[in-house]
Amino acid sequence: MSIKTLLAVETSCDETSVAIVQAAFTEGAWQIKSPERVRVLSHIVESQTSHAVFGGVVPEVAARDHLLKITPLALQAMAEAGISADALDGVAVTLGPGLIGALMVGTLFAQGLSLAINKPLVGINHVDAHLAPALLLRSFNTAHDIGQWLPVELPTFPALALTVSGGHCHLSLLHNEKDRTLLGCTADDACGEAFDKVAKLLGLPYPGGPHLEKLALTAATNLSSFKFRTALTDKTNRHGFSYSGLKTQVLDTVRRQLGHPVGKIQGTSLPENIKANIAHAFQEAALGQLIDRLQNAIEDHHGIRSIVVAGGVAANKMFRTKLAEQTNLEVRFAPMSLCSDNATMIALHAFLPGMNMNSPHPFSRYPYSS
């Protein structure tokens, strides 16, 4: 049995994250097959709170915050893992997509570390990496599983993979854990961004997605007064997504409720029951579009055996419940603690077959298939 240890860095948006992860392979299977077991030695995620006053992420503020945190967090991760930099077998880092300044901080730090210890460096596609925890792990709990060897259990293939977060909506056909075909993505806004923007419209704190989900649970039983359209105008677009129109529908509804047809508005003054019912109707429409796209892909691609879901929206409990009710296929969600941006998913993706960790220093980007 061969054990490999990676330090991973994630700085694509407003989370500064460093993780040290080990993987156990049968002798000679490194980069040829998926690992048999993985062990997370340290998992650190520092979410930036300074953006709350702006109601959204400010790229320059994010980059400066990453710059302050990245070195202390890397030292903390190695201390928690009980290993030195020389004990690492490589470094993995998010190359993109993401905020340019934020990505530069992470990539330059990772490149410097790789050069200093003369170990390989691999650049990881952020969207791809979101899927890695769902592909490799049935569960992961930061309270109990740090330092524990966890068995790798791959889903059955071919599978549909849905990555849905604040910045991304990607639906792919997985032929195996490394080969995929992109079926569709968002034409405008991502689902998670729509959650945050609607939450802001209703006067909820930032980040708004979890607050909107919680508010929707308090909605009244009779919700017929609010219903938002989920079908896309382009009927031939069976696998793509669009959320700008849904956001506009909610905006128009809030305007009518406030009696302000023009100008800037804020739904803070709306009665709580009205806000809850709007939140519920929006969530039904937003999640309904995701499920509709998955159902179309199942119809169009025969032989699908499982569904893999990852990204921040994968943490939505109503989504998990509704999807399980809508299909008889095996459904694998990323563990709750690994849905949002984190470095552990970067490391896990680097352990998948096909990643180039053989030559020191230069980046080896794993492109998103299309």
Q: Which residues pair with 331 in a beta bridge?
A: 307
* Cis, peptide link before residue 353, omega less than 30° from 0: no
What is residue 338's predicted lDDT score, i.e. its pLDDT? 97
Q: How much is the pLDDT for 265?
A: 81
Residues 288 and 232 in one domain: yes
C-alpha span between 74 and 235 (Å, rounded): 48
One domain, residues 298 and 201: yes
Compute the radius of gyration of the chain from its Cα atoms: 21
- Closest among 285, 204, 288 to 247, alpha carbons compared: 285
Question: Are 131 and 175 in a shared domain?
Answer: no
Residue at 127 is within a domain:
yes
Same domain, 24 and 109: yes
Nearest to 16 by CA among 52, 56, 37, 43: 43
For residue 264, the model assigns a pLDDT of 79
- The larger pLDDT score, comparing residue 255 to residue 54, is at 255
> What pLDDT, in 10s, does the model give residues 43-77?
999 987 676 666 677 878 889 989 999 999 999 99
What pLDDT score does 54 carry? 61
Q: Are residues 345 and 321 in the same domain?
A: no
Residues 176 and 297 in one domain: yes
Same-domain pairing of 198 and 119: no
pLDDT band at 366 (very low <50, low <70, confident <90, very high): very low
Whether 363 maps to a domain, the answer reads no
Average pLDDT, the chain: 89
Q: Are residues 345 and 323 in the same domain?
A: no
2-10 and 90-96 as β-strands: parallel, antiparallel, unpaired? parallel
Has residue 362 been placed in a domain?
Answer: no
Judged against a pLDDT cut of 80, whether residue 370 lies above it is answered with: no
In-domain check, residue 183: yes
**Rounded distance between C-alpha atoms, residue 60 and residue 86, angstroms:** 33
Find out whether 116 and 4 touch, Cβ atoms under 8 Å. Answer: no
Q: Is residue 153 part of a domain?
A: no
DSSP 231-247: S-S-TT-SS-B--HHHH
pLDDT, residue 365, reads 41
The rounded distance, in Å, linking the Cα atoms of 208 and 198 is: 8
Position 223 confidence tier, pLDDT thresholds 50, 70, 90: low
Considering the domain architecture, whether residues 165 and 314 belong to the same structural domain is answered as yes
**Could you tell me if 173 and 128 lie in one domain?**
no
Q: Are strands 37-47 and 149-151 parallel, antiparallel or unpaired?
A: antiparallel
CATH of the domain at 127: 3.30.420.40
**Residue burial 25-35, b: 16+ Cβ < 10 Å; e: rest:** beeeebbeebb
pLDDT at 357 over 50: yes
Read off the pTM: 0.91
Same domain, 183 and 276: yes
Q: Quote the pLDDT of residue 108.
A: 96
The C-alpha atoms of residue 332 and residue 130 are separated, in whole angstroms, by: 13
Residues 342, 126: Cα–Cα separation, whole Å? 10
* Cα separation of the two ends of the chain: 35
Distance CA 84, CA 116 (A): 12
Please indicate, yes or no, if residue 324 is contained in any of the structural domains.
yes
More confident residue, 56 or 222: 56
The pLDDT of residue 358 is above 60: no
Lowest mean pLDDT of 24-28, 116-120, 122-126, name the range. Answer: 24-28
- Which of 150, 87, 100, 146 is closest to 126 using CA atoms? 100
> Is it the case that residue 259 has pLDDT exceeding 90?
no
Q: Produce one character per residue of 36-58: b if its CB has 16 or more CB atoms within 10 Å, e if not.
A: ebbbbbbbbbbebeebeeeeebb
> 328-342 pLDDT, tens per residue?
999 999 999 999 999
Greater model confidence, 191 or 359: 191
Is a pLDDT exceeding 70 seen at residue 214? yes
Please indicate, yes or no, if residue 181 is contained in any of the structural domains: yes
Contact between 13 and 57 under an 8 Å Cβ cutoff? The reply is yes
**Structural domain containing residue 270:** 159-334
- How many domains, the chain? 2
User: Do residues 111 and 83 both lie within one domain?
Assistant: yes
Domain annotation covers residue 365: no
307 has pLDDT over 90: yes
